[in-house]
Amino acid sequence: MKKIAVYFLACLMAVSLLTGCGTKKEEAKTVELDKDNPTVISVWHYYNGAQQEAFEKLVGQFNNKEGKEQGIYVETYAQGNVYDLEKTVLNSANKKAGASEMPNIFAAYADTAYQVNKLGLVADLNEYLTKSEISEYVDNYIEEGELSKKGELKIFPVAKATEVLAVNQTDWDKFAKATGAKTSDLSTIEGLVKTAEKYYKWTDKATKKPNDGKAFYGRDAMANYFFVGAKQQGVDLLKIEDGKCTVNFDKKVVRKLWDNYYVPYIKGYFTASGRYRSDDMKMGNLIAFTGSSSGAAYYPKAVTVNDEKNYKIQVKSYEVPKFADGEDYAVQQGAGMVVTKSSDKEVYASVQFLKWFTESKRNFEFAKSSSYLPVKKEANKEKTVENAMKDEKNEDIKDTVKTAVNTVNNNKMYTPKAAKNGSQIRNILEYCLSDKAGQDRKAVEKAIEGGMSYDAAVGKYNTDKNFDQWYEKTLKELKALEG
């Protein structure tokens, strides 16, 4: 009996210890602040226009109420565009001559955060948040913020974006009525290519001049096409472990990407001539493009035919086409906030501000200023979205945000993990295929003008040899950045 009592007591103590551990995990680190002597935290960002206005308005609200009550004061500093900010942050982190002191918080994409983290300057925010608080955020957004080590939160998500297919609905309706084209055909990449061919031939027949059909489609961010297009086919182009990168430029997968972008491009079905594809839509060079959901505020309201003539259009957003036999993956993009190592008071105050800023209703107020997406699961529910967007006057933003939220809810979101040479690798993928397609399309057009038939001119470039040469060159460039 005595042995049983001792055994029972031991079990009770073990359970008590385990329960204590579990409770500890639900506790977050707190630091006492002084209302009469507020902790000042600095934030560097790249926001401009409506987004900067919305951000600074919310910061003002925080400083006047919650910040005052807690003893926190936030100061914001715009650093130009995202590339200007990246340069300024890295100069400060590396203590370059003339560089400013590091801020408490800076906006950054994963590759920049990774570089600063390697210098030992980034705070781990995990201990300042409970497990239940972290679980409120979209899982993929937290995973991206962990960089290379599970369980360490180095990037706090504040606003995200994905991609949408923007369609000039006004001109689409004319095309659809004449040809029977359906928007459902645009749900797959293969269907998009066939529709683009149909549009080229339809517009070609509208004039007496042969082979002058118009392009249907273009896309921004070609690197996203590579990363997500490969992932839909079950392949990670980059294998990254602890920040070390190995290139997996699978030839079969890449050939499929080539066949569904390069080939329709040199045939005249796709195009890219302006800085952004929304510029091409404005000039009437295409009627559909894939772009960031954060670009809805820049959708054209009219097509400019010439200096004297233009006509109004309505743009509608759809989910981005995927490979017909592919998995449901969509791109995840958007910078987060990185907190630098400093005093416990400053790190704690920084996290308190970011938690306040990402409260669902408030976060949506900021996000919708430029059609970004909120970062909490609750904020991405259909009813929450409808309530948040009902007073939005910009129909393009309203439509795009709804489409983007559906994309988040209907797909697995994907972005490559941060790596040492991640930015350089992305830069290669951004231009290697689009530049090649653009150059060869010009050569095709020149050959046709010189009297060569359309089929012969296209056939000269649509070859296995041409693909192989481009593939080997690109592979070599990517391999040089491994490690």
Q: What is the pTM of this model?
A: 0.91
- Compute the distance between CA of residue 315 and CA of residue 296 in angstroms, rounded to an integer: 9
Q: How many helices (H) and strands (E) does the chain have?
A: 20, 14
In this structure, the answer to whether residues 194 and 51 fall within a common structural domain is no
Place of tokens 């653009």: 438
The rounded percent of the chain whose pLDDT value lies above 70 is: 94
Q: What is the pLDDT of residue 369?
A: 84
In this structure, the answer to whether residues 362 and 384 fall within a common structural domain is yes
Residue 368 belongs to domain spanning: 39-161+333-414
**Residue where a domain terminates, one of 414, 431, 464:** 414
Q: Which of 162, 135, 156 is nearest to 410 (CA)?
A: 162
> CB neighbours (10 Å) of residue 399?
22
Q: What is the pLDDT of residue 17?
A: 46
- Name residues whose C-beta falls within 8 Å of residue 82's C-beta, 6 or more positions apart in sequence: 46, 107, 109, 335
Q: What is the pLDDT of residue 22?
A: 43
Strands 72-78, 39-45: pairing is parallel
pLDDT at position 3 over 80: no
In this structure, the answer to whether residues 238 and 325 fall within a common structural domain is yes
- Compute the distance between CA of residue 92 and CA of residue 103 in angstroms, rounded to an integer: 9
Say if residue 247 is exposed, middle or buried (CB neighbours under 10 Å; 0-12, 13-18, 19+). middle
Q: Mean pLDDT of all residues in the chain?
A: 94
Beta bridge partners of 338: 106
Span 397-415, pLDDT tens digits: 999 999 999 999 999 999 9
**Residue where a domain terminates, one of 391, 414, 437:** 414
Residue 223's domain is classified under what CATH number?
A: 3.40.190.10
- Compute the distance between CA of residue 361 and CA of residue 378 in angstroms, rounded to an integer: 10
- Name residues whose C-beta falls within 8 Å of residue 319's C-beta, 6 or more positions apart in sequence: 164, 165, 187, 330, 403, 406, 407, 410
Please tell me the total number of residues recorded for the chain in this structure.
483
Q: What is the pLDDT of residue 126?
A: 96
Here the tokens at position 95 are: 């203590």
The rounded percent of the chain whose pLDDT value lies above 90 is: 86
Q: Provide the domain count of the chain.
A: 2
Q: What is the mean pLDDT of residues 317-343?
A: 98
Q: What is the mean pLDDT of residues 59-68?
A: 98
Q: What is the mean pLDDT of residues 184-191?
A: 99
Strands 244-247, 163-168: pairing is unpaired
In this structure, the answer to whether residues 126 and 116 fall within a common structural domain is yes
- Compute the distance between CA of residue 136 and CA of residue 127 in angstroms, rounded to an integer: 16
Span 101-139, pLDDT tens digits: 999 999 999 999 999 999 999 999 999 999 999 999 999
Helix (H, G, I), strand (E, B) or coil at 108: strand
Residue 8 lies in a domain: no
Residue 31 lies in a domain: no
For every residue of 179-228, DSSP letters joined together read H---GGGGGBHHHHHHHHHHHHHHHHHTSSSTT-PPP-EEES-HHHHHHH
How remote is the C-alpha of 36 from its chain's centroid? Answer: 41
Whether residue 105 contacts residue 340, with contact meaning beta carbons closer than 8 Å, is answered with: yes
In this structure, the answer to whether residues 68 and 147 fall within a common structural domain is yes
Span 233-254, pLDDT tens digits: 999 999 988 778 999 999 999 9
Residue 25 lies in a domain: no
Q: What is the pLDDT of residue 25?
A: 54
